[in-house]
Structure 1
Amino acid sequence: MSTVLDSRSFLRWCWRQLTSMRTALILLLLLSIAAIPGSLFPQRTQNPLRVREYFVNDPETAKWLDRFSLFDVYGSPWFSAIYLLLFISLIGCVLPRSIEHLKAIGAKPPITPKNLDRMEFFTEIEKVDLDLAEKYLKKKGFRIRRDIDSISAEKGYARESGNLLFHLSLVLVLIAIGVGSLFGSKGDAILNVGERFINTPTSYDILGFGKYQSEDSLPPFSITAKAFKAEYDPATNAPLDYTLTINTANPVGSLERDEVIKVNKPLKYGSTKIYLQANGYSPTVIVKDKSGKVVLDGPVTFLPQDGNLSSIGAIKVPDMDPQIGFVSSFLPTADRDLVRGGFSSYPEVLDPRLLISVWQGDLGLNTGVPQSVYRIDTSEMQRIGLKALVLNETYDFGEGSITFTGWKSWVNLQIVNDPGKGYALLGAILAILGLLISLVTRQRRVWIKQGRKTQVAGLAKNAIPGLENEINDLVKELSNER
């Protein structure tokens, strides 16, 4: 029997330690520290190619990093354990306090202590009328407990309400994050102007689902990028505005309609939001083989490298024999100096150049190993040409030819379904509100007791200053009324 009691006592002790505010703060600090590796190392759910590069460049180190789930931080057992412990700690700490606080909201202040001379700022004055004292304290916002020969007054009770609201809001934020990770989805897709996007898994460049979501949960809709306009400050080259005009349709009985997406104005499909995330250029080229047959005709997406949209990309032509790859750069407004070489001096297309380095050999597309569409591994290839092309210029590199025919703007659409986002926002707003209430509210108690003389004293919760002045004002008021 004693063993069972000891075990229960130990469990109660563990529960008290877990649900203490000190433990909750420690767990909150641990959670923020545990999230740091997620920004230092590439994550499989966001950038699988970078993770693969780690394994190629340093397989031993990558293997150890993978053992500790540093490539999948937010889904790792240790991160989930800290998250769940923090959730339990906050619930166990705040919920009982909140229940007790609700019960005590309508309660009267505690009775007047017997020995007021032990309280703060104890003062004795000649006898006064307690009715006058009660009237003054009520005017100052105190709750009153009136006895035959004493008054117990209290104000600032909202301080504890704000404190509890802050911590309950943190619980709401944690719940919202959990709901989003379990029932949400997030994906990115690059779309050239004129192209159509259909909301199916194969249309995404990157797509991740919550634990209880799947491919069948994607809402049916399609988007066609009709036009994209970027405005820049001519003096600073800084972007002023981005506007994407699209044509969208829902196959389930919805008519097509035109919509506008801006950086801070997403398109909504129920709980799914479509954000304009980034933009760049896709040079259009025509590649022909020796016989003059067209083997590639269309835009190739390039990645911007700076604010002026100097971009790099890879034009891969696996259908030629031998295979051909173009390591390329696109300069919207070409310029050049001795140090930087070729670069773009403005983000709009005013004087475009396509710089190409032609490589011949195996592109490595049949190895089964995924590779970036923006780069070419030239370690097993031979360079056979180098050229800077102006618009509509053709370059014959011996095995064929390439013509720079123009460009198209592309946009990166981020498509997010986060059912917990609204609750997280609400929790953040309530947390700030609760924190402000707890910071600006001064909780204190004042007692007045009749005897041979009138005794006045008080108590400031958490030693918050201002009580002395309040008691001095009270004593002054009572002395004047006497």
Structure 2
Amino acid sequence: MSDIKDIETGTEAPAARQAPEEVPRPRGIGPLGWLRWGWRQLTTMRTALILLFLVALGAVPGSALPQRGQAPEKVAAYLSDHKTLGPLFDKLSLFDVFAAPWFAAIYILLFVSLAGCVIPRAVKHYQSMRARPPAAPRNLGRLPQSVSYETDAAPEDVLAEARKVLRGRRFRVDVSDGSAAAEKGYLGETGNLVFHLALLGLLFALGAGNMFGYRGSVLLTEGKTFANSLGQYDDFTPGRLFDDGDLAPFTIGLDDFKAKYEMQGDKRGQATSFDAWIHYRDKPSGKDQKYDLRINHPLKVGGTKVYLLGHGYAPKFTVKDAKGNVAFQDTVPFLAMEPRNLTSEGVIKVPDAEPDQLAFYAILWPTAVASEDGKQIVSAFPGALRPVITLSSFKGDLGLDSGTPQSVYKLEGIGKTLQPIKGGEKLLEPGETFKLPGDAGSITFDGMSEYVTMSVNHDPGRIPALVAAVLAVLGVATSFLVRRRRVWVRASAGKGGRTVVEVGGLTLGNPTSEFDDIVTALRGPDAPAGDDASQGEAGPDGGAGAEPEHDGAEQKKNGAAQKDGAEPEKDGTEPEQDGSEPEQNGSEAEPGADRGSGSATEPKE
């Protein structure tokens, strides 16, 4: 067999038909390559838009569900009412969305994505602004806007005039190789970049405000003073990098609160104004200053803003124990049970009473009247026109010494450590006293006071966020209003010692009338009729606007032939025009049509 193979050497298959040798498999891109690929995917605009959508989507539960930072009592109520969904939502941090790890991850990825996308674009944009305008294309007639005409001026003079005209219109101009290249409109791209950079600044400012700021709520009764310290806040939410030393040492005192209501008509009882007259000091050694704290008119003090949130009633009570000693004398804030007429409830805890501790559950009707059936008391108006309080009395152990925190608006241990006093229910008006059965003590309804709830916010990123938002609006408006425009002017020697001038324009979006104004300025106001611009096809004597002249005899001959039903004779030549062959710019043009700018011109005579 080997001899036969040696003899039949010409029968070997061609190299193209031979089985290819085994090619080694390509190696993977490696860890560095995967990191580079991941970075490229993260810094695309598509990824940034997806992350921005996820941020908006993640904020939905923060608006639909109660949040621990604003309403912890509503979160507890939701958990007790929804035994299945509540714990699940709690594990997903849906009751504290804006502090959840998954929301922070999306937020940080969005920040990195925008930074990696916008910063390189800003560098390239700066480089392109410093670079020379692009050179003129070979065929200016193919541009969306183009004009060609002839003039007696020398090419150098035409280009010098073009430089002057274009610079007068704030174009960046570069003249070289017999042509002038001009460009402007970078402000539109600058506005686009300013918008994205401002969005980055806005995210950074919001993040800085959440990290270094704080927010708290305060209930302040008439005649009392609030000092800006942690122990005086009813609710306090600090930033992650907040320090106790960041609290400004200001104080606020509530002198008086007035609420005005509609007295008649269908809107009777509707509030018309709230005025909290306060005095404050920005520091302990400062002077007292007066301020009318109203809705949407916050007080600015110590780098914070103090907002008026709400109000309520705080009746004043005096409680004596079984020994006749005054065990309690103070105002007690009541919480509104229904907002229309401010029927409110509250509890009075007297841990210093002896020998048994005392407690009272009370309901306040600011303007007490009998119901329609006459079986119960209701409030007919939110103002305190005829305040009435009903009391339920208790004695025993309040459980305050156990160390377990309790709500000031709720009695704990009723029926266990705290027992109701038989016959301890009573209706009181201001100035009346109720002596408890069994000589357990007494309680006096001294009168009415009011309280306000205030929100104290310190956000160091507020001003930077406002500046970033304004820049973002200005940037996006500029990006829509300003468009990139380029103009080229080429001047070359033509026949008869004249100069052929070609002008081309390119605008991002639809063409503008600015190109026609530039052409008019280049030609001058006193351009002779023989130098009419040709937009589309151009001829030396008038270009596109000129009608070709036909021989009169030939027209009559063609007309006679058409009457006899025959085709007109052709001699193989096109109708002659005055002058040489027309210049071509890519396609045929109808006489009088402005093919470069899209407008129609009348035929030139």
Distance 1:14 1:364, change over 3 A: farther
Partner of 2:468, secondary structure, is helix
User: Could you tell me how far 1:41 is from its partner in structure 2?
Assistant: 2.2
CA offset digits 1:330-354 (Å, max 9, x no partner): 42x55676499734535x44x1323
Matched with 1:104 is: 128
**Counterpart residue type for residue 361 of structure 2:** F
Matched with 1:83 is: 107
TM-score normalised by structure 1 residue count: 0.84
Partner of 1:93, secondary structure, is helix
Counterparts of 1:166-181 in structure 2, within 5 Å, are 166-181=195-210
Partner of 2:449, secondary structure, is strand
Question: Which 10-residue stretch deviates more, 112-121 or 382-391?
Answer: 382-391
* 1:20 maps onto 2:44 in alignment: yes
Partner of 1:38, secondary structure, is helix
Matched with 2:97 is: 73
User: Could you tell me how far 1:191 is from its partner in structure 2?
Assistant: 1.0
Please, what is the CA RMSD of the aligned residues? 3.6
Distance 1:292 1:40, change over 3 A: farther
Provide structure 1 residue ranges, at least 5 long, that are not aligned to the other structure. Answer: none
* Distance (Å, rounded) in 2 between the aligned partners of 1:135 and 1:335: 88
TM-score normalised by structure 2 residue count: 0.68
Matched with 2:183 is: 154
In the alignment, is the contact (CA less than 8 A) between 1:261 and 1:275 conserved in 2? no
Partner of 1:35, secondary structure, is helix
Distance 1:147 1:53, change over 3 A: same
Question: Which 10-residue stretch deviates more, 468-477 or 183-192?
Answer: 468-477
* 1:430 maps onto 2:464 in alignment: no
Aligned with residue 450 of structure 1, among 488, 491, 509: 491
* 1:201 maps onto 2:252 in alignment: no
Distance 1:122 1:395, change over 3 A: farther
Matched with 2:571 is: none
Distance 1:296 1:124, change over 3 A: same
User: Could you tell me how far 1:471 is from its partner in structure 2?
Assistant: 2.6
Matched with 1:272 is: 304
Counterparts of 1:248-263 in structure 2, within 5 Å, are 248=281, 250-251=283-284, 254-260=285-291, 262-263=293-294
In the alignment, is the contact (CA less than 8 A) between 1:394 and 1:401 conserved in 2? yes
* 1:94 maps onto 2:118 in alignment: yes
Counterparts of 1:247-396 in structure 2, within 5 Å, are 247-248=280-281, 250-251=283-284, 254-260=285-291, 262-263=293-294, 264-269=297-302, 271-287=303-319, 294-304=326-336, 310-317=342-349, 319=351, 324-331=359-366, 333=367, 338=372, 342-345=378-381, 348-349=383-384, 351-356=385-390, 358=392, 360=394, 372-375=407-410, 389-394=428-433
CA offset digits 1:125-161 (Å, max 9, x no partner): 3458344444333333322222343222222211111
In the alignment, is the contact (CA less than 8 A) between 2:432 and 2:446 conserved in 1? yes
Higher Cα Rg: structure 1 or 2? 2
* Distance (Å, rounded) in 2 between the aligned partners of 1:39 and 1:369: 32
In the alignment, is the contact (CA less than 8 A) between 1:19 and 1:92 conserved in 2? yes
User: Could you tell me how far 1:408 is from its partner in structure 2?
Assistant: 1.6
User: Could you tell me how far 1:323 is from its partner in structure 2?
Assistant: 5.6
Distance 1:164 1:343, change over 3 A: farther
CA offset digits 1:295-321 (Å, max 9, x no partner): 543211123467766142322336475
In the alignment, is the contact (CA less than 8 A) between 1:280 and 1:309 conserved in 2? no
* Distance (Å, rounded) in 1 between the aligned partners of 2:83 and 2:336: 30
In the alignment, is the contact (CA less than 8 A) between 2:257 and 2:274 conserved in 1? no
Q: Which has the higher strand share?
A: 1
Distance 1:141 1:479, change over 3 A: same
* Distance (Å, rounded) in 2 between the aligned partners of 1:285 and 1:191: 17
Distance 1:142 1:306, change over 3 A: farther
**Counterpart residue type for residue 363 of structure 2:** S
Distance 1:20 1:365, change over 3 A: farther
In the alignment, is the contact (CA less than 8 A) between 2:259 and 2:271 conserved in 1? no
* Distance (Å, rounded) in 1 between the aligned partners of 2:205 and 2:44: 23
Matched with 1:227 is: 256
* 1:163 maps onto 2:192 in alignment: yes
* Distance (Å, rounded) in 2 between the aligned partners of 1:322 and 1:131: 101
In the alignment, is the contact (CA less than 8 A) between 1:281 and 1:409 conserved in 2? yes
* Distance (Å, rounded) in 1 between the aligned partners of 2:460 and 2:165: 51
Matched with 1:440 is: 481
Distance 1:155 1:284, change over 3 A: same
User: Could you tell me how far 1:358 is from its partner in structure 2?
Assistant: 2.5
In the alignment, is the contact (CA less than 8 A) between 1:318 and 1:363 conserved in 2? no
In the alignment, is the contact (CA less than 8 A) between 1:285 and 1:299 conserved in 2? yes
Matched with 2:244 is: 215
Partner of 1:301, secondary structure, is coil
Partner of 1:278, secondary structure, is strand
User: Could you tell me how far 1:113 is from its partner in structure 2?
Assistant: 1.9
Question: Which 10-residue stretch deviates more, 375-384 or 169-178?
Answer: 375-384
Sequence identity, in percent?
A: 35
In the alignment, is the contact (CA less than 8 A) between 1:143 and 1:154 conserved in 2? yes
User: Could you tell me how far 1:437 is from its partner in structure 2?
Assistant: 1.7
Matched with 1:245 is: 278
User: Could you tell me how far 1:230 is from its partner in structure 2?
Assistant: 4.5
Matched with 1:416 is: 457
Question: Which 10-residue stretch deviates more, 404-413 or 27-36?
Answer: 404-413
User: Could you tell me how far 1:205 is from its partner in structure 2?
Assistant: 0.2
User: Could you tell me how far 1:249 is from its partner in structure 2?
Assistant: 6.4
User: Could you tell me how far 1:266 is from its partner in structure 2?
Assistant: 1.4
User: Could you tell me how far 1:431 is from its partner in structure 2?
Assistant: 1.4
Question: Which 10-residue stretch deviates more, 112-121 or 88-97?
Answer: 112-121
Distance 1:311 1:135, change over 3 A: farther
Aligned with residue 170 of structure 2, among 125, 141, 145: 141
* Distance (Å, rounded) in 1 between the aligned partners of 2:424 and 2:516: 91
* 1:50 maps onto 2:74 in alignment: yes
**Counterpart residue type for residue 439 of structure 1:** F
Matched with 2:53 is: 29
CA offset digits 1:264-306 (Å, max 9, x no partner): 241311x334333333321223345677665543211123467
* Distance (Å, rounded) in 2 between the aligned partners of 1:473 and 1:2: 60
User: Could you tell me how far 1:357 is from its partner in structure 2?
Assistant: 5.8
